[in-house]
Chains A and B, each alone.
Chain A
Amino acid sequence: MKPAAPLWVLLPALVLLPVLALLPGISHGGGWELVGQFAAAALRPSLDPLVLGSVLGGLGITAGIALLGWAGSLALGVVLGIASSRVVWRTCTGSAGPAGWIRRLLALPRSIHELLWGLLLLQLVGLQPAVAVVAIAIPFGALVARVVSDLLDALPTANLEALRCGGAAAPAALLTALGPPLLPQVISYSGYRLECALRSATLLGVFGLGGLGTELRLTLQSLAFPELWTGLWLLLAVMLLLEALLGWLRRRWAMPARLGLRQRAVGGQGREMVGAGLVLLPLLGAVAWALDVRPAALLQWQGLPPLGPADWSAVAALPWPLLIGNTLLLTLIAAALAVGLAPLLLLLVQPWPAGGWLVRGLWALGRLWPPPLTALLLLFVLQPGVLTGALALGFHNLGILGRLLLEASETSGVAQQQALVAAGTGPRLALLYGRFSGLARPYLAYGAYRADVILRESVVVGLVGATGLGSQLLEALSSFAGDQLLALVLAYALLTLLGEDLSDRARLWLLETPHGDGHPQEAGGTWR
């Protein structure tokens, strides 16, 4: 990978200047007392058995939903991914045409946030645990499909061609030539998706689709901070455990690292993987049974509520330019904050090891807190609006990006950094020039992808008002305004598709490799 100018990674952090300049204008400080209470409660979470019981129950539901939704999305994603792979179509039928069409069709389910899927399904099939599971499985499945097909099409085809020339049948040749190199990447990626699924399941709960998120929102809204912290601490423990377990499995099974991918063959751990799979299957069944997830119940559609005649002129009269403009502004600020702050914070605390742990802790909290909860907390001291929403989304994504950056920088540029330090360079400059400059391109490429995710996520901070399409959408939902809802969801889908295209171009441009080593898909492509 060609190194980039070292300051590239810090470029997005420039957004801090306008944000810091605007912050005094929107802060009112009325609720500092509440923020103080909230922070103080972190040290003394409620240990009331009743609270613990309901939090543990909620956590169980959230984890179960995440696990089932994740498994569903993987099954769906692998099948659809193979079905939308050009290599597979070309090898089997001689023409890659259908792959492109399936790909385009899959863009639609992917472009709609899981929260919207959840709320839509809620209207169709009623309140039941399966709703959250399917809501996660659909968009995640389409996402996995895209990654799997990208990975498949990026694999070297020499082996495949050799097998075909030798007379092997198309399916057998595909499986033999592409299966082994694909498997570790898919397993590594699916581990990452499980983390995403846990975050999504928590978020869906915040909007009433069951589990711990529900408790979190209700305790926050009733300002019961000790009870809120009981849930947050437990969720943090589960999240860190899951991340540690997945990281351990990834290393154990010789998975490629996150950003600076170095492909290695599966290290004779096939039996372990099969074993893990065999444990997972009955576990999934047990979870489904415990959660009372009934696929059959999903088929009992209730029909939509009797809607009044659609009032399209009222829909057209919505302030569309403002809504879309605010949504884009929110996305850009949040993305720039998240992408820029992660390396900046690491650089700032580099001389002090304790600071590094503080930053890690802060990021863990950022990943953990669903953005709508952060937004509600921010409202205690800030006025509602785009900036408040952007801060909440930026904080959440900073946690995710920061962790990726840390992981990637652990494995790359160690030698350069040590050389710089030995030559007498300060610790910060050594980190910036030694490690970050090599990572700048894949990191920014991932940031471009993350901006696309943030655009989709902007719907969830609609709670803080005046944040564009998201807040309008939540308002339309509580008014049961089907026509507005349809128009807003379509606008969202269109925007995210455009955003996806733009971020793809940005990634390709960033990952352009003049020397021809490494594939553009490698870094940005895998971690979506």
Chain B
Amino acid sequence: MPARERWTAALAGLCLTLLPAVLPAQNGGLVPPGLAQQTTQPKPAQAKPAQSKTVLRIGAIPDQNPEKLNRLYGLVADELGRQLGVKVSYVPVTDYAAAVSAFRTGNLDLVWFGGLTGVQASLQKPGAQMIAQRDIDAQFYSVFIANTRSGLKPIQNQKGLAVLKGKRFTFGSESSTSGRLMPQYFLSQAGVKLGDFAGGAPGFSGSHDATIALVQSGAYDAGAVNEQVWKSSLRSGKANRSKVTQIWRTPSYPDYLWLGQPNLDQRFGKGFTAKLRAAIVSWRPSDAEQKRILELFGAQQFTSVKAGEYKKIEQVGRQIGKIR
């Protein structure tokens, strides 16, 4: 008997110790999540901790240097907060695919996506709303750049891309539209497969800034980048023309866009999505703050989006296997 008592006592003690850890989980577990959230949020799929009700969480694919992203989206958060009267916070994300997942799981409300990630996210989150794009996004370009010591010369037409066979070549991120998807599409039209590069595979630098720096350093002979980032690097002097040079500009295609959650109106009040769009589209260089934002975005202004434009991106995405 005493032995049994001791065991019971020990067990009871253990249970008491573990109780606090288990308790919150039990509360969440006993009530189906959908039911528990019903009073505050109509859709169980967007069931989120309480704080998300009031804060508009914006994010962006990490296509440039983190310090530039922090500067830019800090400004965007302030400006949107001022115009819309809600608290806006910028949540940095480290990976293109993670940004898509975070949008799908409802951790981000408004995200600056590239064409491919935007399509991936809208397919994964039915009802997602294309809010706005830049004036330059309807007709966007990539450029192929090369290290001047690589011996690569400017290319006259698309077929000329074949000279990249056997060269060390880097894309940007795996999921980048202007740094991977469209360049790969144009390369494959010119008969260049991914296995044709030196080492049997292209590199994935992670961002456009990284591609420029790596090609400039000579770590790669050539790479593909977003034209807007390329131009701004040339202007700022980060890209040194004597070391890295443009060899081809692609035909145009649609790219970046602001994508919003389907439930913004329910959470922030009726008509919020329309107000959000109007706010972004209203930014003009005449306002000092908005001018800084537009300059960092490399655009004159934002416009509304025609969803149909992104069908081409979806097609290419399916062809290359990035959309299933």
Residues of A within 8 A of B (CB): 26, 28, 30-31, 33-34, 122-123, 125-128, 169, 171-172, 207-208, 214, 217-219, 221-224, 281, 285, 294-303, 305-308, 311, 379-381, 383-385, 463, 465-466, 471, 474-475, 477-482
Is A480 a contact of B168 with CB atoms below 8 Å? no
List the B residue with the shortest CB-CB distance to A124. Answer: B105
Residues from chain A with a CB closer than 8 A to the CB of B175 are: 478
Assess whether A475 is in contact with B174, with CB atoms less than 8 Å apart.
Answer: yes
B199 contacts A384, CB within 8 Å?
yes
A478-B33 in contact (CB<8A)? no
Assess the B203–A379 pair: CB atoms within 8 A.
yes
Residue of B94, B98, B322 ringed by the most chain A CB atoms within 10 A:
B94
The 24 listed contacts between A and B (C-beta, < 8 Å) are A31-B218, A123-B101, A126-B101, A126-B106, A127-B102, A172-B3, A208-B94, A208-B95, A217-B94, A217-B206, A218-B66, A296-B29, A297-B49, A299-B25, A300-B28, A302-B106, A379-B219, A384-B201, A463-B204, A465-B200, A466-B201, A471-B201, A479-B323, A482-B324
Q: How far is the CA of A33 from the CA of B206 in the complex (A)?
A: 20
Distance (Å) between the CB of B128 and the closest chain A CB? 12
With known contacts A31-B219, A296-B28, A478-B97, A223–B213 Cβ distance under 8 A: yes
Residue-wise interface mask of B (94-134) relative to A, using a CB-CB cutoff of 8 A (1 in contact, 0 not): 11111011101111000000000000100110100000000
Tell me, yes or no, whether B271 is within 8 Å of chain A by CB: no
- Given A384-B199, A465-B204, do A479 and B321 touch, yes or no (CB 8 Å)? yes
Are the CB atoms of A218 and B62 closer together than 8 Å? yes
Judging by beta carbons under 8 Å apart, are A474 and B219 in contact? no
Chain B residues in 8 Å Cβ range of A480: 97, 100, 120, 124, 324
The complex places the Cα of A31 from the Cα of B200 at a distance, in Å, of: 19
Q: Does B217 contact A (CB under 8 A)?
A: yes
CB atoms of A122 and B101 under 8 A apart: yes
Known: A127-B102, A222-B209. 7 other contacts (CB 8 A): A172-B3, A214-B94, A296-B27, A299-B28, A302-B106, A307-B324, A475-B174
Cα distance A298–B20 when bound, in Å?
A: 16
The contact string, 1 if C-beta is below 8 Å from chain A, for chain B 24-51, is: 1101110001000000000001011100
B24's closest neighbor in chain A, by CB?
A: A296
- Tell me whether A477 and B219 are in contact (CB under 8 A): no
By the criterion CB–CB under 8 Å, are B207 and A221 in contact?
Answer: yes
Distance, CA A153 to CA B14, complexed state (A)? 25
**A221-B210, A384-B199 are contacts. A127–B105 as well, Cβ < 8 Å?**
yes
Contact A295 B199 (CB under 8 A): no
**Chain B: minimal CB distance from A521 (Å):** 28
| Distance in angstroms between the alpha carbons of A481 and B203 in the assembled complex | 21
Tell me the residues in window 195-254 of chain B with beta carbons closer than 8 Å to chain A beta carbons: 198-207, 209-210, 213-214, 217-221
Residue among A308, A471, A478 making CB contact with B322, cutoff 8 Å:
A478
Which of A305, A477, A478 gathers most chain B CB within 10 Å? Answer: A478
Q: What residues of chain A lie closer than 8 Å to B198, measured between beta carbons?
A: 28, 383
A465 to B195, CA, bound (A): 10
Residues of A contacting B101 in the complex (Cβ-Cβ under 8 angstroms)? 122-123, 126-127
Task: Select B174's contact among A214, A297, A306, A478, beta carbons within 8 Å.
Answer: A478
Name the CB-closest residue of B to A297.
B49
Please state if B221 and A384 are interface contacts (CB–CB under 8 Å). Answer: no
Interface centre among A125, A207, A222, A465, by most B CB within 10 Å? A222
Q: Are A295 and B97 in contact (CB under 8 A)?
A: no
B301 at the A interface (CB under 8 A): no
Q: Is the CB of A479 within 8 A of B124?
A: no
Mark B residues whose CB is within 8 Å of A: 3-4, 7, 17, 20-21, 24-25, 27-29, 33, 45, 47-49, 62, 65-67, 93-98, 100-102, 104-107, 120, 123-124, 126, 147, 168, 174-175, 198-207, 209-210, 213-214, 217-221, 321-324
When distances are taken between beta carbons in the complex, the residues of chain B under 8 Å from A127 are: 93, 98, 101-102, 105, 107
Are the C-beta atoms of A306 and B219 separated by less than 8 Å? no
> CB-CB < 8 A to A471: which residues of B?
201
Q: Is the CB of B202 within 8 A of A465?
A: yes
On chain A, the residues within 8 Å of B174 by CB distance are 474-475, 478
Contacts of B120 in A (CB 8 A): 480
For residue A35, give the distance in angstroms from its CB to the closest CB of chain B.
9
> For residue B24, which residues in chain A have a CB less than 8 angstroms away from its CB?
294-296
Pairwise interchain contact B220-A30, C-beta atoms closer than 8 A: yes
A31 and B199 within 8 A (CB): no
- From B98, B209, B213, B322, A479 is in contact (CB under 8 Å) with B322
Query: What is the chain B residue whose CB lies nearest that of A31?
Result: B219
Q: Least Cβ distance of B169 to chain A in Å?
A: 10
A302 and B105 within 8 A (CB): yes
CB pair A122 B217 closer than 8 Å: no
Whether A299 touches B199, Cβ cut-off 8 Å, given contacts A28-B168, A30-B218, A381-B219, is: no
**Interfacial chain A residues near B67, Cβ < 8 Å:** 222, 224
Q: B219 to chain A: which residues have CB within 8 Å?
A: 30-31, 34, 379-381
Q: Which residues of B contact A128 (CB under 8 A)?
A: 107
Report whether B206 and A221 are in contact in the complex, using a CB–CB cutoff of 8 Å. yes
Shortest Cβ distance from A163 into chain B, in angstroms? 12
Residues of A within 8 Å of B105, CB to CB, are: 123, 125-127, 302
Q: How far is the CB of B267 from chain A (nearest CB, A)?
A: 16
Q: Given contacts A379-B203, A479-B323, is CB(A208)–CB(B100) below 8 Å?
A: no
**B95 contacts which chain A residues (CB < 8 A)?**
207-208
Closest B residue, CB atoms, query A479 = B322
Decide: A31 near B203, CB < 8 A? Known: A305-B104, A479-B322.
no
B62 — nearest CB in chain A belongs to which residue?
Answer: A218
Do residues B97 and A477 form an inter-chain contact, with CB atoms below 8 A? yes
| B179, chain A: closest CB distance, angstroms | 12
Query: What separation, in Å, do the CA atoms of A302 and B321 have in the docked complex?
Result: 25
Which residues from A are CB-within-8-Å of B200? 384-385, 465-466
A211 nearest CB across to chain B (Å): 11
Closest 6 CB pairs of A and B: A126-B105, A383-B199, A31-B219, A296-B28, A465-B201, A30-B218
Given contacts A33-B217, A465-B204, A478-B174, contact A303 B45 (CB under 8 A): yes
* B278, chain A: closest CB distance, angstroms: 29
Verify B205–A30 contact, CB threshold 8 A.
no
User: Given A122-B101, A222-B65, A481-B321, does the pair A295, B218 have CB atoms closer than 8 Å?
Assistant: no
Nearest A residue to B195, CB-CB = A466
What residue in chain A is nearest B149 (Cβ atoms)?
A: A30
Taking a contact as CB atoms under 8 Å apart, the answer to whether A26 and B199 are in contact is yes
Q: How far is the CB of A178 from chain B (nearest CB, A)?
A: 16
B107: A residues at CB distance < 8 A: 126-128
